[in-house]
């Protein structure tokens, strides 16, 4: 299969940074796929650096002029490392926005932990997440008229408990708006924090426990209308699958279509 025709950045310009070099080496050790680096400016519709992958390649898009470019590269490489190590995802027919939380945000507690292990200076990185959480919090607070919104709040809140060094103020504000979601997510956190996500077995276990808490929460708090019951049912019957299953058979043309949807211009 041919590589995708997307202009590339040169790894050598970035792997002078020790953390980038180490993370790139760690991903190369666990993958047989090619790893490409690109400028995020090629995809103007995506506001942040990101990761996407298909059967034969992993693509990482970054802002090459950002002061935290090395942090972003390591972050995205770690998404690839977790996929290759066999990390899992809750798989069900859920809204796209919720699926994004499950495949992206739910990996972040472990990604942040490993970023620190690569000895990145996280003090330079947290202000970015501060901004991210502020805007997510605003979004969640604005959803007062959506009776199903808490379905998506739960998994996000759960992840926030794992990096309270930045999330604490946002958790506190959220608690005042949706105390029962806060409580339930905190209980899920208390039941998983010692197991954690540091390897694929603990991650599987934590995800299972998290899923049960989320499912119970839905049974208790989601409206018993058609959509509410559908979400609850989907989650109850959801499978837990390796993330790689979602990439293994993906075609390069799917990636190009996805990127074009977000503004990639044909070259
Ligand atoms: Zn991420």
* 104 C-alpha to ligand 1 centroid (Å): 5
Q: Which two tokens stand for residue 198?
A: 């540091």
Q: How is the chain split into domains, by residue range?
A: 1-86+243-267, 88-242
Pure H helices in 107-163:
108-117, 126-141, 150-160
Residues 6+ apart with CB under 8 A from 132: none
* 105 C-alpha to ligand 1 centroid (Å): 6
* DSSP tag of 52: E
Q: What is the pLDDT of residues 203-260, one digit of tens each?
A: 999 999 999 999 999 999 999 999 999 999 999 999 999 999 999 999 999 999 999 9
Q: Characterise 53 by phi-psi region: left (phi > 0), alpha (psi -120 to 50), beta (else).
A: beta
**Maximum CA extent, the chain:** 55
Mean pLDDT of 76-104: 95
> Partners of 50 in the beta sheet?
61
User: What is the structure's pLDDT at 17?
Assistant: 96
When pLDDT is cut at 50, 70 and 90, the band that residue 266 belongs to is: confident
The Cα–Cα gap between 243 and 212 comes to 19
* 50 C-alpha to ligand 1 centroid (Å): 7
The Cα–Cα gap between 209 and 213 comes to 6
* 140 C-alpha to ligand 1 centroid (Å): 19
* 218 C-alpha to ligand 1 centroid (Å): 26
Nearest to 109 by CA among 208, 198, 47: 198
pLDDT over threshold 70, residue 140: yes
């Amino acid at each position: 299969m041919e590589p995708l025709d997307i202009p590339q950045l040169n790894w050598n310009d970035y792997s002078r940074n020790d953390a980038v070099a180490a993370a790139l080496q760690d991903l190369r050790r666990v993958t047989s796929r090619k790893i490409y680096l690109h400028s995020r400016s090629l995809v103007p519709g995506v506001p942040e650096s990101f990761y996407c992958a298909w059967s034969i390649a992993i693509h990482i898009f970054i802002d090459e002029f950002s002061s935290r470019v090395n942090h972003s590269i390591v972050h995205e490489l770690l998404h690839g490392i977790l996929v290759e190590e066999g990390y899992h995802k809750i798989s069900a027919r859920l809204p796209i926005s919720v699926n994004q939380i499950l495949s992206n945000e739910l990996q972040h507690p472990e990604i942040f932990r490993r970023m620190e292990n690569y000895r990145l200076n996280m003090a330079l990185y947290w202000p970015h997440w501060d901004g991210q959480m502020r805007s997510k919090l605003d979004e969640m607070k604005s959803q007062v008229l959506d009776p199903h919104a808490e379905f998506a709040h739960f998994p996000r809140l759960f992840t926030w408990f794992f990096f309270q060094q930045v999330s604490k103020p946002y958790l506190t504000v959220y608690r005042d708006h949706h105390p029962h979601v806060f409580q339930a997510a905190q209980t899920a956190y208390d039941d998983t924090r010692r197991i954690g996500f540091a390897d694929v077995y603990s991650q599987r276990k934590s995800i299972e426990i998290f899923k049960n808490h989320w499912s119970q929460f839905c049974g208790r708090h989601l409206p018993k209308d058609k959509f509410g019951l559908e979400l609850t049912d989907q989650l109850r019957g959801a499978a837990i699958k390796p993330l790689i299953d979602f990439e293994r058979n993906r075609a390069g043309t799917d990636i190009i279509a996805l990127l074009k949807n977000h503004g990639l211009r044909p070259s």
